[in-house]
Every structure is written in C-alpha cells, then in structure tokens.
Chains A and B, each alone.
Chain A
Amino acid sequence: DSGVTQTPKHLITATGQRVTLRCSPRSGDLSVYWYQQSLDQGLQFLIQYYNGEERAKGNILERFSAQQFPDLHSELNLSSLELGDSALYFCASSSPSGASSVAEQYFGPGTRLTVT
C-alpha cells in the first residue's frame, strides 16, 4: 500500500459526459501528479500540483482540468468525454525538498475509466 488513495476504482460513463476523479496523497506529500495510462500512449504525464498551485502541464487536453485543495487532496475533471479517453488514470504524490526538486513518486491504485 503506497498510502495514495484514489476513488472511484472504476467508472463507466457515456460520451459527452463529465466525471471527477479524486486523489488523496500520502500524508505530508505536497506534490500531486496525474498520469494517464493507455495501451497506445503508455504512461503520460498530465498535470502536477504543488501545495495547491499548478506547477506543470504535460499532455493534458483542454477538456481536462485539475485542482488541489487546501487539505492537499486533488481532483481531475474530465469533460465532453470521448471514447479515446478510456484509460487508467493514476495519481501520484511525492515529497520533494522543494517545488522544483525531483523525488520518488508513490502511485495510487488508479481509476479505470471506460467511456461507452
């Protein structure tokens, strides 16, 4: 158990809908990362938050957004869903020595999103 929790574990929804994925980082970790894992693209970085502030964006679509709350949990919002958004979404957290430091990341169990 990494200490990172994600809910829900599975999500099935229809095209055009909007969903919210939730992540609670390990206790004390200030950085939260979101990744998407799909068969064709592999593991892709989406977005990072550090202590409530957005730090970096990766290959995140404009239809996707995220935020980190004062208690450090994070939510990833996916809207206008398409079939191609079906994937495993991981949250990871880390405790870097600073906002721009690399540290090992601990991954949650993921949310499997199926868009029908």
Chain B
Amino acid sequence: DQQVKQNSPSLSVQEGRISILNCDYTNSMFDYFLWYKKYPAEGPTFLISISSIKDKNEDGRFTVFLNKSAKHLSLHIVPSQPGDSAVYFCAARPEGTDKLIFGTGTRLQVFP
C-alpha cells in the first residue's frame, strides 16, 4: 500500500514552459513534505520542502503547493530548463519520526 503516490511515471515539457509534477498521499499524520531530484547513477538530492501548516513554498524557479484537504501536493518548475531533466521523487515525513516515505518517482524530460 503506497502511502505516497506519483501517478505519472513520466512527463515531457518544452524548455521555457512550466513543468507540474503531482503527488498524492493517504496519511493525514504527515507533517513535512519534500521533493528530491535524482540524476542517473547518483543518489537523490533534496530540492524543496513544505511544512504541513503552509500551503506554498517558493525557491527560485521551484514552487511547492500543498492542498491538505485533497491530500495533494505539486511541484512547479518555471521556466523549465534541459538541466531539470531527471527523476523527481515526492516524500513525506510521518509526524514524530525522522523517516521519509517516498513515492515511485516521475521522470521529467525537458526538450529544447
């Protein structure tokens, strides 16, 4: 039973346009949500996070939105660049723990 779901295995976007990656979760006891980026043959690297008490967090070209009532979060990348091509993982932290529950990932391809 996947507590964190990324239903789109892949996404293709033209350079300069917006990329929107989606994530759904089932557990109401998550208190932090994070996005990680992974290039081939490397480990995932932290990208951006949001606390469950907020609905938006922005860092440069990256913005994460959280809709608690829908148990949904999304990552917006504007404008998309070819270097953003990677696998993006959504993750959530159960309250009171240090562990992260990850989704299955979405492969983003940004083409010129």
A binds B: no
Report A's interface with B, CB cutoff 8 A. none
Report B's interface with A, CB cutoff 8 A. none
